A and B are shown apart, each in its own frame.
Chain A
Amino acid sequence: MSTLPMDHNVDCLSDDPRQRAPLVLGHEQFDTVTSEILRCNEAKRPPLAWTICFVFSVALMTMLMALVGYLIVTGVGVWGNNNPVMWGFPIVNFVFWVGIGHAGTLISAILFLFRQKWRTSINRFAEAMTIFAVICAGLFPGIHIGRVWLAYWLFPIPNQMDMWPQFRSPLLWDVFAVGTYFTVSLLFWYVGLIPDLATMRDRATTKVKAIAYGFFSLGWRGSMRHWHRYERAYLLLAALATPLVLSVHSVVSFDFAVSQLPGWHTTIFPPYFVAGAIFSGFAMVLTLAIPARQMWGLENFITMRHLENMCKIVLLTGSMVGYAYGMEFFIAWYSGEIYESFAFINRAFGQYAWAYWIMVSCNVICPQLFWFKKIRRSPWTMFIITLFVNLGMWFERFVITVTSLANDFLPSSWGWFQPTWVDMLTFLGSFGLFMTLFLLFIRFLPILAISEIKGVMPQANPHAHDHHHDAEDHA
């Protein structure tokens, strides 16, 4: 690894507008980038930390499977869902996990269209996270339907009984929205992986690896024609994925907002849910990136500047969520509707006030710490803050779902929701599923987008500095 030439030897945190901060540190040649990123994939044995995490995650996942089995055998009575709180943990967890996925799509699609080049260091694992989060999300409505063996009725499949799903229900729109989202995210992720899979194929040390990576790299040879088509396809997929960032969580918000229930029926829900989803997603990206970058030694790619940028997005989206909370409260009063006002006062001071204040302090107050440069540049402080944000966003969905159902129009039909041990352990187990998939991903696929990272290095631009011309030959 050679040192950087003087003119690039600027601090990656520099705010000097005369020069763009470098996005990759410490590499002058492309081949060292490849070998550094693939170091963890190509090591004979995974790091000990990985093995410990993996064993733990698989254990949690096994617990999840056992609990789902118990649920199917026994029935939804094992959960705390009751009348009037028909929607308990399953819907809360569903919305939570779908939200987590959104950062990946925002990074891969919207930041791409906005030419935010720093995204290249984080897009790959954020996209992977999207897919795994959507898998976790899809699990919950699936097991909430009671007769799990009839889950395929959710899809509009013609059958002899002429049973069609209710097209006017936003729950059905969810099936389409989340299904499309999963498909497009998977495609986008896979298309982006192709050149890197070919790199892994070319560097494979065993026959099995060569065949496996070779199969999935679809005969990629890196010719100009391949690159041209690849970049076209990538741009088109980015454009197609962009509306999905907005549509998926908007449709999820419709689940609530099309009703007449106070606290659910409010027009700001679609953009508010989208902002909240990106907020929680970025928090999760940071939660995973900070330890991963430290353990895998990826500080040269996920620089402090990248972390700082993500903190700023967390601050922005957290403030948008705060705006929505404020607007809901203001309009609840301004509308003069007693039920609406009650719903909000009840959230803040009623039986679930503790959940409400956890939500407000984690989602609105906590991210405001990111106004301070010092905090945006201290990884472990960020890590703790993002844990609180994850917690807060789960509680947001809990507050929305449970408080409005528990105390609606008629006091005589009010209720109280208490999760059972099955509820809590199932939610915990979903983290096992998520982490297992994620750990498998970082072991067997490149955690960073190798070819894209090379594209944002100054050496990739032949006109930037003439003396870098020869660097390209090492690609």
Chain B
Amino acid sequence: MSLDGNRSDLRLGGLGPAVVVVAAIVGIGAAIATLVIDGMACSATFWKSYLLAFMAASGIALGALFFVMLQHVTKAGWSVTVRRPAEAIAGNLQWLWVLFIPILILVWTGRGAILFEWCDLDYMHSDHVLSGKLGYLNATFWSIRSIVYLASWALLAAFYRRQSLAQDRDGDYRRTMTMQWWAPIGIIVYAITQTFASIDWVMALQPKWFSTMFGVYWFAVCCTGFYASIILLLIFLRSTGRGADVFTREHFHDLGKLLFAFGVVFWAYIGYSQYMLIWYANIPIETAWFAPRQLGPWTWVSWLLILGHFGLPFVLLVTRWTKRWRGTLGLIAAWMVLMFLVDVYWLVMPTVPEAALMHATSWDQLAQQAAQGTLPLGWNPSILNLTALVGALGLLVAGTFFFLGRAALSPTHDPRLSDAMAFENY
């Protein structure tokens, strides 16, 4: 079967440019506001907010890229129709690299230490553990790696989007086979680049700390961001009267299950395992990363994650009807986008008070210092965090609607289209 790609409810029509313009204005406006509020000083807070925003936006797009490739690896039928919106979200990886250029410039102009401590060579040479890492954490190698990650994501996202759009035009089922052929290779490239990107851009913020699980944790973060976002996107499209027969209740149910499985349970499993193993062994170099996250105001953020990213959505999503009714699913998905942002914030923002940790004689002493606010924990909520996030997410929305507007909202000639339109969750 095939769909008529020109059906008005399968096209964004005038809505596309409208959303692009509004989202772009909001995004660029927020970005300018970030610069203005910062007084063009490019302060440490500015750069941390910038990285936070970049990681959040790229995390959602990466989750989408993985989702698209996964559907091809598994020859999935149910998801054919929702793949197009996912391709549009992943499509942002074709331009998101532009947002990384300022960070590259920062590192290359020698001011990188304001964001990444490893750029401070004096600091790195002051410690034999750190100086040993210079072979990996140095501007040249780090930049080459970053470029490789961004380039491979852009290529993969472009390839899958182009093939899919071309199939709409020529209806050639062999394109599905081409996409399937590349999908396992793409997933391997994805696994390696996403892992090392999370190590280089987030884990390396605290150059002494390490966790073999970190790449997997970041994968769970990307899944949360993506599944929550695509549910919101599809609900928005349905609310404008679009795609009633392609984005059915069954798709919402299935996406809700995936959000539950990966964004809630898998995320909690990985987070718990990482935390518990480090807590149990209690080795100072490892616990140092968790210490600030359990001190002062960060304690509440950590609790918010445990209860808000796991406890509450677990209870809400475990039943069937909440996933099948767009009203409840939309609220939960919106909450999960918020929790995803809190999680990225919690990963990027805190700083380890190394000197204080080294001299502390007891945990109570640290807690006391934290209560007095004399510990450098990186707790510095600023309007910049918010404006930067709004900026990057605004641009992500603009990009997504730009890509969505260029084609039908669902693949129209995919050979497995009928699977997606007929299946039911019993």
Asked whether B212 lies within 8 Å of A267 as measured between CB atoms, the reply is yes
Asked whether A265 lies within 8 Å of B277 as measured between CB atoms, the reply is yes
Residues of B within 8 A of A327 (CB): 195, 212, 215
Complex Cα distance A301/B222, Å?
39
Complex Cα distance A153/B374, Å?
50
Asked whether A259 lies within 8 Å of B281 as measured between CB atoms, the reply is yes
Q: How large is the interface on B (under 10, 10 to 19, 20 to 34, 35 or more residues)?
A: 35 or more
Complex Cα distance A327/B212, Å?
6
- For chain A residues 327-360, which have a beta carbon within 8 Å of chain B? 327-328, 331, 334-337
Given A15-B180, A268-B216, A336-B208; 18 other pairs, CB 8 A cutoff: A17-B173, A17-B176, A17-B177, A17-B180, A243-B265, A250-B273, A257-B281, A258-B276, A258-B277, A258-B280, A258-B281, A265-B277, A265-B283, A266-B212, A267-B211, A267-B214, A269-B273, A335-B210
Residues of B within 8 A of A323 (CB): 191-192, 195
Q: Please name 9 pairs of A and B residues whose Cβ atoms are closer than 8 Å in the assembled complex, sorted by A.
A: A113-B257, A257-B281, A260-B283, A268-B213, A269-B277, A271-B270, A323-B192, A336-B129, A336-B132
Complex Cα distance A266/B416, Å?
43
Asked whether B277 lies within 8 Å of A267 as measured between CB atoms, the reply is yes
Q: Is residue B133 contacting chain A, with contact meaning CB distance below 8 A? A: yes
Closest residue of chain A to B423 (Cβ to Cβ) is A115
Closest residue of chain A to B216 (Cβ to Cβ) is A271
Complex Cα distance A336/B129, Å?
5
Complex Cα distance A224/B343, Å?
48
Min CB distance, A352 to chain B, in Å?
Answer: 21
Closest residue of chain A to B214 (Cβ to Cβ) is A267
Residues of A within 8 A of B212 (CB): 266-268, 324, 327-328, 331
Complex Cα distance A327/B210, Å?
11
Q: Is residue A417 contacting chain B, with contact meaning CB distance below 8 A? A: no
Min CB distance, B252 to chain A, in Å?
Answer: 16
Asked whether A334 lies within 8 Å of B281 as measured between CB atoms, the reply is no
Residues of A within 8 A of B280 (CB): 258
Residues of A within 8 A of B416 (CB): 17
List residues of B whose CB falls within 8 A of some A CB.
Answer: 74-75, 77-78, 128-130, 132-133, 136, 173, 176-177, 180, 188, 191-192, 195, 208, 210-216, 257, 265, 269-270, 273-274, 276-278, 280-281, 283, 285, 415-416, 426
Q: Of A15, A271, A337, which contacts B285 at CB under 8 A?
A: A337
Q: Given A243-B265, A328-B212, does the pair A16, B270 have CB atoms closer than 8 Å?
A: no
Asked whether A265 lies within 8 Å of B281 as measured between CB atoms, the reply is yes
Q: Given A265-B283, A267-B274, A336-B130, does the pair A250, B213 have CB atoms closer than 8 Å?
A: no
Complex Cα distance A235/B192, Å?
35
The interface bits of chain A over 215-242 (1 if a CB of B lies within 8 angstroms of the residue's CB, else 0) are 0000000000000000100000000000
Q: Given A17-B415, A258-B280, A337-B285, does the pair A267, B130 have CB atoms closer than 8 Å?
A: no
Min CB distance, B116 to chain A, in Å?
Answer: 15
Residues of A within 8 A of B74 (CB): 114
Min CB distance, B83 to chain A, in Å?
Answer: 13
Q: Of B136, B188, B277, which contacts A254 at CB under 8 A?
A: B277
Min CB distance, A315 to chain B, in Å?
Answer: 8
Min CB distance, A457 to chain B, in Å?
Answer: 17
- For chain A residues 5-32, which have a beta carbon within 8 Å of chain B? 15-18, 20
Min CB distance, B393 to chain A, in Å?
Answer: 29
List residues of A whose CB falls within 8 A of some B CB.
Answer: 15-18, 20, 113-115, 231, 243, 246, 250, 254, 257-260, 265-271, 319, 323-324, 327-328, 331, 334-337
Residues of B within 8 A of A267 (CB): 211-214, 273-274, 277-278
Residues of B within 8 A of A271 (CB): 213, 216, 270, 273
Closest residue of chain A to B283 (Cβ to Cβ) is A260
Complex Cα distance A111/B274, Å?
26
Residues of B within 8 A of A115 (CB): 78
Asked whether A334 lies within 8 Å of B273 as measured between CB atoms, the reply is no
Residues of B within 8 A of A260 (CB): 281, 283
Asked whether B133 lies within 8 Å of A334 as measured between CB atoms, the reply is yes
Min CB distance, B108 to chain A, in Å?
Answer: 23
Complex Cα distance A104/B226, Å?
30
Complex Cα distance A42/B274, Å?
52
Residues of A within 8 A of B269 (CB): 246, 250, 270
Asked whether B210 lies within 8 Å of A331 as measured between CB atoms, the reply is yes
Min CB distance, B311 to chain A, in Å?
Answer: 16
Asked whether B415 lies within 8 Å of A270 as measured between CB atoms, the reply is no
Complex Cα distance A267/B257, Å?
27
Complex Cα distance A461/B255, Å?
25
Complex Cα distance A319/B189, Å?
12
Complex Cα distance A394/B283, Å?
30
Complex Cα distance A266/B173, Å?
46
- Across chains A and B, which 4 residue pairs bring their CB atoms closest together, nearest first? A268-B212, A336-B129, A267-B213, A17-B415
Residues of B within 8 A of A113 (CB): 257
Residues of A within 8 A of B214 (CB): 267
Residues of B within 8 A of A324 (CB): 212
Complex Cα distance A52/B284, Å?
59
Complex Cα distance A215/B277, Å?
47
Complex Cα distance A243/B264, Å?
13
Complex Cα distance A113/B425, Å?
10
Complex Cα distance A141/B55, Å?
46
Complex Cα distance A269/B212, Å?
8
Residues of A within 8 A of B265 (CB): 243
Residues of A within 8 A of B130 (CB): 336
Closest residue of chain B to A336 (Cβ to Cβ) is B129
Q: Of B188, B195, B208, B277, which contacts A257 at CB under 8 A?
A: B277
Min CB distance, A325 to chain B, in Å?
Answer: 10
Min CB distance, B296 to chain A, in Å?
Answer: 25
Complex Cα distance A246/B133, Å?
34
Closest residue of chain B to A15 (Cβ to Cβ) is B177
Residues of B within 8 A of A337 (CB): 129, 285
Complex Cα distance A267/B210, Å?
9
Residues of B within 8 A of A231 (CB): 426
Complex Cα distance A331/B273, Å?
17
Residues of B within 8 A of A254 (CB): 276-277
Asked whether A17 lies within 8 Å of B75 as measured between CB atoms, the reply is yes
Min CB distance, A337 to chain B, in Å?
Answer: 7
Determine which residue in A259, A266, A268 has the highest number of CB atoms from chain B within 10 A of its CB, and name it: A268
Closest residue of chain B to A243 (Cβ to Cβ) is B265
Min CB distance, B177 to chain A, in Å?
Answer: 6
Residues of A within 8 A of B273 (CB): 250, 267, 269-271
Closest residue of chain A to B209 (Cβ to Cβ) is A335
Closest residue of chain B to A340 (Cβ to Cβ) is B210
Closest residue of chain A to B181 (Cβ to Cβ) is A15
Min CB distance, A208 to chain B, in Å?
Answer: 38
Residues of A within 8 A of B180 (CB): 15, 17
Asked whether B283 lies within 8 Å of A319 as measured between CB atoms, the reply is no
Complex Cα distance A258/B275, Å?
11
